[in-house]
């Protein structure tokens, strides 16, 4: 059985690592140190139709997820599945350098994890658009630059609002993507089947 030590790792890392391991293994045992991680792993197992078992070990938890009956996706022709998956079209828009309201420190960490989690999706967005305070994420000082580059390398189009970059005096620091205007941003958002906003 494949084993993962996710002690000390914040969600969604235990879920992402377990899901990756399940692509090549029939059963995965994941050690986590909080109950929220066990709940998130259970949700993932339920979504995939896999068997879930959780066992407390002191202050930690051992979660075992195993492939039970083959689900429909696994029984389908892989080429057909890939074709179906890639037709799911969506864009992501980011208008701030934090995610949610409350603590800006937490919000920055959440947004960084959101961008990272995008890279781990089975279906990547067609475009990621940054405007207002979100444009700081495409600059050379961004903590998310590596994740954005990974998506760009896989064909995701990255855009940043030129007027916003000028306002924050960040135009010279742009490290990834294409500078665009609000007319084009509205056009992309209007034409997208789905718009995801953190």
Could you tell me if 105 and 143 are in contact, meaning their C-beta atoms sit under 8 angstroms apart?
no
Stronger pLDDT, 153 or 12, i.e. the higher one: 153
Asked whether 164 and 177 are in contact (CB, 8 A), the reply is no
Q: Which two tokens stand for residue 5?
A: 């030590």
Domains and their CATH numbers in the chain: 2-66 (3.30.110.40), 83-196 (3.40.1260.10)
Helix or strand or coil: residue 63? Answer: strand
**Per-residue pLDDT reduced to its tens digit, 153-180:** 999 999 999 999 999 999 999 999 999 9
Structure token pair of residue 61: 């938890």
Q: What is the pLDDT of residues 90-124, one digit of tens each?
A: 999 999 999 999 999 999 999 999 999 999 888 99
Residue 184 or residue 86, greater confidence: 184
Q: pTM here?
A: 0.67
């Amino acid at each position: 059985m494949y084993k993962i030590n996710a002690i000390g790792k914040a969600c969604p890392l235990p879920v992402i690592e377990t899901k990756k391991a399940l692509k090549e293994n029939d059963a995965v045992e994941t050690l986590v140190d909080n109950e929220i991680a066990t709940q998130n792993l259970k949700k993932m197992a339920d979504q995939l139709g896999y068997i879930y078992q959780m066992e407390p070990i002191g202050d930690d938890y051992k979660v075992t997820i195993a492939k039970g009956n083959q689900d429909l996706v696994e029984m389908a022709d892989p080429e057909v599945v890939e074709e179906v998956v890639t037709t799911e079209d969506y864009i992501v828009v980011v208008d701030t350098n934090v995610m949610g309201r409350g603590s800006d420190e937490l919000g920055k960490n959440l947004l960084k994890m959101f961008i990272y989690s995008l890279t781990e999706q089975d279906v990547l967005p067609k475009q990621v658009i940054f405007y207002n305070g979100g444009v700081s994420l495409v600059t050379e000082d961004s903590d998310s630059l590596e994740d954005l580059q990974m998506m760009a390398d896989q064909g995701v189009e990255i855009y940043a609002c030129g007027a916003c970059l000028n306002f924050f005096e960040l135009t010279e620091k742009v490290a990834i993507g294409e500078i665009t205007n609000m007319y084009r941003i509205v056009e992309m958002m209007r034409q997208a089947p789905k718009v995801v906003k953190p």
